[in-house]
Amino acid sequence: MSTPSRAVAGLALAILTASVGTSAANVALPALVTAFTATPGQVQWVVVAYLLAVTSISVTAGSAGDRWGRRRVLLAGISIFTVGAVAGALAPSLVTLVIARGVQGVGAAVMTALPLALARDLVADGRTGRIMGLLGTTSAVGTALGPALGGALIGWGGWTSPFWMMALLGAAALPLALTVPSARTITRPRHRFDATGNVLLGAGIAAYALALTAPMPNWPTAPLLIGAAALLIGFLAVERRADAPVLPPAMLRHRTITTGMITNVLVATVMMTTLVVGPYALHDGLQLSLPLVGLVMAVGPVISAISGVLAGRLVDRTSPPVMITVSLIALTVGAAALATVPTWWGVAGYIGALFVLTPGYQLFLAANNTHTLSATDPTQRGAIAGALGLSRNLGLITGASAMGALYATLAAESDTAANGPLDAAQTTFFIAALLAAIAAAASLIASRSLQPRAQTAPRKEQP
């Protein structure tokens, strides 16, 4: 295997490992209740701690890569993830395990953000879409493999097995990541690290994520949302005066970047809605058995694995902005099909909708990542990759929490109706289709408003 191939494999394995880490521990929750004599609400923090760290640290991780070297920070992130996995496997108490998962999440934030920036540095302009498609595929496959591998290992070796698996994956990713060349365009600013901005941003995002996850009854959702808004307003005020802001205000005014982040949030919300509501639609609405539900839900990741690289090649041969709009239209049609076609054709209609929705998602990931990172100042690609990761995670949290709660409310209101669960899923999927349509409209407006000359991302502001 050539050095560039090993480098790409290292970046892909880093993303795969972080994606497996997101979902593999979920299947261990029932076993953790028994092992630590805890309640389901208490062991839920094993999942929440990881998600909070990944979401709140994403931009800081990317900014740190721009400042101190992306390969160096990526190697540190993989090492932190691996140490956290080992600590989780050896945890003597639930509190220790939750802390270890938070440590893992810090490493995972680096492992999901910096490979995008490093991949853009690594390949020529005409091949960016292919590698973005590959990385999107590994992310989807990792998320899908996590529960399957974790469940099989728990049956063999107990609840610690998924954590040892994650440690081994991290250890395998480390030597491959060593082959990634250092970026040629990194500049190391002499300005003081924007600690205040990073803390305010991380705390604001964490407060928002905590407000939506609501891991236990009587959760202070409203105060947390108010606190998140206050912290993020403070972050914007600090960034305007910072010598080296973590997210320069001029960068946030860049149309390509802001549109890429907004559509990323909306698309991630749509896709998480299908993952959260889909099992209920199949089991309670279409009356499928749980094994059949699992088989149908596995169709999406299989389609992702096949279509991801093909989507990347299509992006390289066409215009990324055009492909973004096309992909969002496909997502809109696919989500609307999930809301309507199963009513007529049952499970066959559901699977048919996935054949529209999932390739659209993979095409969006390849096109949006390519377009956003290509329009970025090379010295700021780490921060932008982190911002893309942040927007995706916020969408996943919103989809799992807000859209999941919407379905639960609709299903409870129609509990006595024969088609209550299916009707609730239908309404939820229609709202998801509306979100995808809004994203498509935003993308179309942004692409039409661009000047004929290519835009370039704003350079770092001088003090």
Is 194's pLDDT higher than 80?
no
How far is it, in rounded angstroms, from Cα 348 to Cα 303?
15
Residues 6+ apart with CB under 8 A from 343: 349, 422, 426
Stronger pLDDT, 245 or 363, i.e. the higher one = 363
Stronger pLDDT, 234 or 214, i.e. the higher one = 234
Is 376's pLDDT higher than 80?
no
Q: Name the most confidently modeled range: 358-367, 374-383, 420-429.
A: 358-367
Check if the beta carbon of residue 343 is closer than 8 Å to that of residue 207: no
Is 328's pLDDT higher than 90?
yes
Q: What is the pLDDT of residue 151?
A: 77
Is 168's pLDDT higher than 70?
yes
Residues 6+ apart with CB under 8 A from 101: 25, 46, 47, 49, 50, 53, 84, 88
As given in the structure block, the two tokens for residue 423 are 């009707």
Rounded to the nearest angstrom, the gap between the alpha carbon of residue 154 and the centroid of all alpha carbons in its chain is 25
Is 141's pLDDT higher than 90?
no
Identity of residue 378? P
Q: What is the pLDDT of residue 411?
A: 84
Q: Name the most confidently modeled range: 97-106, 117-126, 137-146, 289-298.
A: 97-106
Percent of the chain, pLDDT > 90? 33
Is 188's pLDDT higher than 70?
no
Q: How confident is the model at residue 461 (pLDDT cuts 50, 70, 90)?
A: very low
pTM greater than 0.85 (yes/no) = no
Q: How confident is the model at residue 81 (pLDDT cuts 50, 70, 90)?
A: very high
Is 454's pLDDT higher than 50?
no
By residue count, the chain amounts to: 463
Per DSSP, the three-state class of 377 is coil
How far is it, in rounded angstroms, from Cα 2 to Cα 387?
31
Is 460's pLDDT higher than 60?
no
Q: Where are the alpha helices (DSSP H) in 375-419?
A: 381-398, 404-413
Q: What is the pLDDT of residue 415?
A: 61
Q: How confident is the model at residue 3 (pLDDT cuts 50, 70, 90)?
A: low
Stronger pLDDT, 438 or 121, i.e. the higher one = 438
Q: What is the pLDDT of residue 241?
A: 83
Q: What is the pLDDT of residue 89?
A: 95
Check if the beta carbon of residue 394 is closer than 8 Å to that of residue 264: no
Q: What is the pLDDT of residue 191?
A: 61
Q: What is the pLDDT of residue 97?
A: 96
Query: Range with the lowest mean pLDDT among 201-210, 243-252, 284-293, 386-395?
Result: 243-252
What does the pLDDT average to over 158-167? 92
To which residue do tokens 């760290």 refer?
A: 53
Q: What is the pLDDT of residue 361?
A: 92
Check if the beta carbon of residue 257 is closer than 8 Å to that of residue 446: no
Residues 6+ apart with CB under 8 A from 68: 188
Q: What separation in angstroms does the CA of 168 have from each of 82, 136, 159, 176?
A: 8, 22, 16, 13
Q: In this structure, how many other beta carbons lie within 10 angstroms of the beta carbon of residue 289?
A: 10
The pLDDT tens digits of the residues spanning 381-435 come to 888 888 888 888 888 888 877 888 888 888 887 665 556 788 888 999 999 999 9
CA atoms within 13 A on the CB side of 28: 32
As given in the structure block, the two tokens for residue 60 are 């800081």
Check if the beta carbon of residue 56 is closer than 8 Å to that of residue 387: no
How far is it, in rounded angstroms, from Cα 399 to Cα 264?
12
Q: Where are the alpha helices (DSSP H) in 178-220?
A: 195-213
CA atoms within 13 A on the CB side of 5: 2
Identity of residue 328? L
Architecture of domain 1-179: Up-down Bundle (1.20)
Q: What is the pLDDT of residue 455?
A: 44
Q: How confident is the model at residue 462 (pLDDT cuts 50, 70, 90)?
A: very low
Q: What is the pLDDT of residue 17?
A: 93
As given in the structure block, the two tokens for residue 407 are 């379905």
Closest Cα partner for 163 from 55, 260, 35, 66? 35
As given in the structure block, the two tokens for residue 235 are 């972050």
CATH superfamily placement of domain 251-451: MFS general substrate transporter like domains (1.20.1250.20)
How far is it, in rounded angstroms, from Cα 201 to Cα 377?
22
Angle, helix 70-89 to helix 3-24, in steps of 10 degrees: 40
Q: Name the most confidently modeled range: 195-209, 236-250, 405-419.
A: 195-209
Is 180's pLDDT higher than 80?
yes
Q: What is the pLDDT of residue 450?
A: 59
Closest Cα partner for 134 from 241, 12, 268? 12
Q: What is the pLDDT of residue 2?
A: 52
